[in-house]
Structure 1
Amino acid sequence: MTATEIAATGLPYFDAAAVRAAAPWTTAVAALERALLDGVDPEEDSPRLFSPAPGGEFLIMPAAGRAYSGVKALTVAPGNPARGLEKIQGVYVLVDSDTLAPLAVMDGTELTAIRTPATTLLAVTHILAAAPGGAGVPDSAPAAPHVLVFGAGVQAFNHVRAAHALLPGSSFAVVGRRSERARELVATLAAEGIAVREGSVAEVPHSDVILCTTSSRTPLFDGALVAPHAVVAAVGQHGLDAREVDATLVRRSDVVVEGRASALREAGDLIPARSAEEWQEVRPANLRDLVRGGFERTPGRPALYCGVGMAWEDLVTAALVYEGGTKQ
């Protein structure tokens, strides 16, 4: 749709249902992977901007691309869940990179709810396929992994949905801070045909994939308990004062980050375990390295993926939604 056509018909708006319909899990993961293979470099991503707001903060995430650019504008209101409202709300504005003319507006909350699990599962599937010493599936990779999910909010729901699509045959258990929320998640997903049961921290040593999708400010479990072959993804928090995993796990793991620069800015899971200077020397693989085969597992070490959320992921997903929606 051209700028002239948009002016004549009004700016298209993609609500939450339209965003979901245009970006099924396998399609969203494939789009992120293709973007990284086609030249997207996470290290060139724009830093996100935080600004105080009444009762919370504004979060602005701009991203530039060859065909499309855009900005996600969110509000973060920590007190909202107690009032029965969403903690994070917002919109995404997609623009044409050549003219900078607005092309579409879409539900930014739903966009986030999709791109975060899609990015996590992109990382997890590639890590599972990374053998010691080279590409391919290692002998220790389970054919039907047991997935343990910490959290019972929107991101926990959608991480289970994404994992169910990307890791067929998996078994799922969820650990919630409040048992009633975990039971609600189990019932909702059961109605969608996804079998999940309520689990516990005691399952950590027996889990192949552990997904941390919480707002916890302190580590969720003892990192020494994680199995040597396991893959852990910590994606629920951002900020240097927040962490879902402990320094023990970080130090004993092969680490993958979304982007090295963004991790140094916001990955509180990593910085306490090693200083910024040490991480610069370690130079962990980022997502681009991972999908291009530049990551190898070390025998006897778990792998940890640490994500804080990046603007290029929003842009890729928004472009997918726009192109899918305007072709219908």
Structure 2
Amino acid sequence: MQTLLLSSDDVDENAQMPDVIQAVEDAFAAYERGDAQMPAKSYIDLPQYDGDFRSMPAYLLADDWDAAGIKWVNVHPNNPADFDLPTVMGTMIYSDPETAFPLAIMDGTELTMKRTGAAAAVATDHLAVEDASSLGIVGAGVQSYTQLDAISQVRDIETVIVSDLNDEAVQAFIDRYDDEFDVRSGSIAEAASCDVLSTVTPVESPIVSADDLGEHTHINAMGADAEGKHELADEVLLNAKLVIDDYKQCTHSGEINVPFHEGVLDDDDIYGEIGQIVTGSKEGRTGDDGVSVFDSTGLAIQDVATAHVVYEHADENDNGTPFDLLGLN
């Protein structure tokens, strides 16, 4: 028996977005039902390198499959300028839950982008207006691409407005999608006025105000993944239908972490977790809803669910490089 080595290109090829979206929704449901184990994300801080490592293990049992794995990921902001390396890199070990055999070792960076976009799509499907046709994106980095790729699977997106301080990044985004959508550069306020807004920035001071938003805008707040990060004004969070992915992670390092610790926001302001909505124990968007917010920190169950999709497709299509990691053959 051999382990499959899957590069970023392999992950991209085999992470078909409709399948990833379904698997991530299944993972949220499993977590809500109690059919998942997900220890808290652990951090190793490396201030001498202005970076950190994060370990994210999980097991989940879906309706007709189960999966286990662990992602080892870093955030080193100085990498691009100092070492010509990405800020974020990850490695995923995907294992057979029954035997613990390592079925695959795959690129976790591409995997993270796919599952992050898929999580936004799941939330958008349940919380955005049915006829949403415009998408605003604040932040034109790598995550912006999978936001559009995924959200356009669940809503008929026609117009895309992207906002970023980096004009070259905006133009690269426009060039990528110009043949598929009516895509253009715009201000944060213009992006925020769309039917759906995804924020994918690392800022620590809010950049989206309540006045920027449309009457029924659904927001995917994807950027905050560490203490102190905060993209949306407190007024937005206080007045929105606020849905989170995980209470412990979101209050520690999600979009709500700053106002929560400052006492501006409390438990009563949180409508529920995304797992409650996908299982039907709480309603998604109703006719009375205005602005809604999904606070996504990124969960290990999403990584495992996406790794499951990637491995199954790669194994079926003979993609990747098999090798005898354990020396059993």
Aligning the two structures, in what range does the TM-score lie when normalised by the shorter sequence? 0.7 to 0.9
Superposed displacement of residue 210, structure 1: 0.8
Contact preservation (8 Å) 1:144, 1:170:
no
**2:324 match:** none
Matches within 5 A, 1:146-157: 146-157=134-145
Does residue 307 of the first structure (1) align with residue 296 of the second (2)? yes
**1:58 match: secondary structure:** strand
| Correspondence for 1:244 among 223, 227, 231 | 231
Matches within 5 A, 1:186-205: 186-190=174-178, 193-204=180-191
Give, in whole Å, the separation in 2 of the partners of 1:209 and 1:116. 16
Q: Which moved more, 1:165-174 or 1:230-239?
A: 165-174
Matches within 5 A, 1:198-237: 198-204=185-191, 206-237=193-224
Give the TM-score normalised by the residue count of structure 2. Answer: 0.85
Superposed displacement of residue 223, structure 1: 2.1
Does residue 78 of the first structure (1) align with residue 65 of the second (2)? no
Contact preservation (8 Å) 2:242, 2:269:
no
Contact preservation (8 Å) 1:240, 1:269:
no
Matches within 5 A, 1:66-145: 66=61, 67-83=66-82, 84-128=84-128, 141=129, 143-145=131-133
Give, in whole Å, the separation in 2 of the partners of 1:308 and 1:82. 26
Superposed displacement of residue 201, structure 1: 2.3
**1:322 match:** 311
| Distance change >3 Å, CA 217–CA 275, structure 1 → 2 | closer
| Correspondence for 1:57 among 45, 52, 56 | 52
Contact preservation (8 Å) 1:186, 1:195:
no
Does residue 45 of the first structure (1) align with residue 38 of the second (2)? yes
Give, in whole Å, the separation in 2 of the partners of 1:178 and 1:305. 26
Superposed displacement of residue 183, structure 1: 1.1
| Correspondence for 2:5 among 13, 16, 21 | 13
- Structure 1 residue ranges without an equivalent (≥5): 129-140
Give the TM-score normalised by the residue count of structure 1. Answer: 0.86
Instruction: Letter of the 1:103 partner, please give it.
Output: L
Superposed displacement of residue 97, structure 1: 1.4
**1:29 match: secondary structure:** helix
**1:132 match:** none
| Distance change >3 Å, CA 92–CA 205, structure 1 → 2 | closer
**2:327 match:** none
Please list the CA deviations of residues 2-48 of structure 1 after superposition, one character each: whole Å capped at 9, or x if unmatched: xxx12xxxx21111111112112111101122333456558953211
**1:64 match: secondary structure:** strand
Give, in whole Å, the separation in 1 of the partners of 2:148 and 2:285. 24
Please list the CA deviations of residues 201-246 of structure 1 after superposition, one character each: whole Å capped at 9, or x if unmatched: 2315631111101122221221233223110111012123110111
**What RMSD, in angstroms, separates the aligned Cα atoms of the two structures?**
2.4
| Distance change >3 Å, CA 266–CA 62, structure 1 → 2 | same
Give, in whole Å, the separation in 2 of the partners of 1:256 and 1:45. 19
